[in-house]
Amino acid sequence: SSVSFVPGLTFPASAYSIPGAMLPSSEWNPGMLFGWRWRDRFYNDSPMEMASQIGLLNGEPILYANSPEVAKQLLGNKAPFDKLKESVQSLSPFGPNVFATMSAEWPRHQTAMSPGFNGRLYSSVWTETKKTYYDFLTTEKWENEREFIMPDVTAVTSKFALYLIAKCGFGIDLSWNEDVGERIRGMSLPECFEITSSSVLILSFLSHWTYSLPIPALRRLYNASNILETIFKGIIDKRRVEGFGNTSEDKDIFSLLLAANELEKGSKGALSDRELVSNVFLLLLAGHGSSTLLNVFLLLLAGHETTSKSLAATLGELACNPEVQQHAYDEIMSVIKEGSDPTLDDFEKLPFVQGCFQEALRMYPTAHVLMRRPVEDTVLQVPSRQGGVVPLSVPSGQVVALDFFGIGYNARVYKDPKSFNPARWLDPATEPLLNFSYGPRVCIGKKFAVVEVTGVLALLLRDYKVEPILKDGQTIADWHAAWVENVEAVIGFGHKRFPLKFTRRSVRA
């Protein structure tokens, strides 16, 4: 009765508990990879596109949905559902931000953040993507190689995404060569960004006094986050001294937010300095300290995870699907002018390349679950497995989870869901991705991610053919089967370390 009598699975602890989440995924514990490990069978015994998970000893019971129709009922405008206060509070140590707010407070942060996301930003994203691409090839000494092996694709895509976010989010240049550039308190800026972004969960849960413990890793994390916070506050102070009247040259999110927020000073919509940094730093997926800072931190956190992990997954699938890769290459070469690089004007002319990213995000969603609670007793209209709809009464307070693994692999919604088929996204009848949320709280950084990944793929596939590295006797299908399961869920879901071979094409712009 605790889950409205919906069939499902029972574990000693539910996924919504510390032991249930932190222990490895298995037949007796859900773990962080629960949705992935059970994606083929979780809903099999339920008569509807919803199933339950109950913890006998620990954790709240959860209703999971693998239906986009249910997702829209939870996320739509004026839906009687809200975020879980516990999850909001887990991000509150950074300060109030666009992610860590309930419905009543969220519009103020969304309105304050919107000016940072405009045409000038996307032009900057495209330009900096090209610059970082060439910097990466030159520094790694791959620029003149006929072929090379990238030993850790996920590390490269993570670094690429982080550097783009540093520049387009904060106006901070990070050289691919970490030996180049300023060092602050013995640490380079790339080190500060990478250490902080990879440790956001630690930052959110540890008490301040723990950083004084004689543990080198904690001291290093504390120093890195403090250095970044000092830099961001310095940017705010510098802009206030210079004035906010002329922003024609400012293209990074932080500068645009500062200028727009300055115009709101004195109004209820204005954000404090701590809130501004908080929102942008959580874009970085890291943060420590003040409120203008947290909005910036949070945006960067989310953007880094989505872009880096999904780009790595896209490259892995393209390597295993040479005919799809050829289709993407043909589209790129039909758009790019001979002897030139792709431009932002080419972005909309590359729908198949964008589809490659969307397909990877469907199959390997970075944010794989989204939880809501009804604020009042309500009834969900849930698709049944036999066709039609089943009305399901959901009491106030019941945790309902949108399962993006379940939605992405729902054969009713996406035909042949285990096949990498970017062409499905060229059909307007295809159910749109919900990974960037839906309705009024759709992710503000969605276009940032799509523009960045499309730019990287356009450059990389123009210049190189991507292939898996096969062992003796191994087929592409064998490699792919092992790669698909070589995943982890730490901050977000994605693939572990894997290598790919890049061979220069005979035709290069």
- The predicted pLDDT at position 459 comes to 97
Residue 393 half-sphere exposure, CB side, CA atoms within 13 Å?
A: 6
Kindly give the pairing relationship between strand 50-58 and strand 62-65.
Answer: antiparallel
Nearest partner of 382 among 54, 36, 46, judged by Cα? 46
Q: How far apart are CA 222 and CA 218, in angstroms?
A: 6
DSSP 3-state of 506:
coil
pLDDT of residue 300: 58
Q: Phi/psi class of residue 437: alpha, beta or left (left: φ > 0; alpha: ψ in -120 to 50)?
A: left
- Cα distance between residue 256 and residue 276, in whole Å: 11
Is residue 69 a contact partner of residue 383, using CB atoms and an 8 Å limit? yes
How high is the pLDDT of residue 93? 47
Can you say whether the dihedral through the CA atoms of 417, 419, 420, 425 is positive or negative? negative
Alpha carbons 13 and 18: distance in angstroms, whole number: 8
Greatest CA separation for the chain:
69
Which pLDDT score is estimated for 199? Answer: 66
Domain 96-364+435-509 belongs to what topology?
A: Cytochrome p450 (1.10.630)
Tokens of 173: 């240049």
Q: At what angle do helices 153-170 and 253-263 cross, to 10 degrees?
A: 30
Q: Give kind and range of the element (H or E) at residue 81.
A: strand 81-82
pLDDT at 76: 84
What are the per-10-residue average pLDDT scores of the chain (509 residues)?
81 86 88 93 95 88 95 87 66 52 58 69 91 92 93 92 80 67 68 70 61 79 78 71 58 70 61 60 40 54 76 98 98 90 96 98 92 92 94 93 96 97 97 82 80 96 97 97 94 91 79
Integer Cα distance of 168 and 328 in angstroms = 27
Please indicate if the annotation marks 443 as binding a ligand. yes
Q: Write down the pLDDT at residue 200.
A: 58
Q: In the prediction, which pLDDT does 285 show?
A: 39
CA 151/CA 142 separation, integer angstroms: 13
pLDDT at 303: 63
Contact of 254 with 280, CB cutoff 8 Å? yes
Predicted model pTM: 0.85
The owner of tokens 């000494």 is 141
For residue 501, the surrounding DSSP H or E stretch is strand 500-504
Separation of alpha carbons 464 and 505, rounded Å: 5
Which pLDDT does position 509 carry in this prediction? 45
Per DSSP, the three-state class of 487 is strand
Question: What backbone torsions phi and psi does residue 444 show, to the nearest 5 degrees?
Answer: -70, -20
Q: Let me know: does 371 contact 400? Beta carbons within 8 Å.
A: yes
Give me the residue spans of the domains in the chain: 1-91+368-430, 96-364+435-509
Q: What is the pLDDT of residue 249?
A: 59
Q: How many residues does the chain have?
A: 509
282, 75, 366, 321 alpha-carbon torsion, rounded to 10°: -140
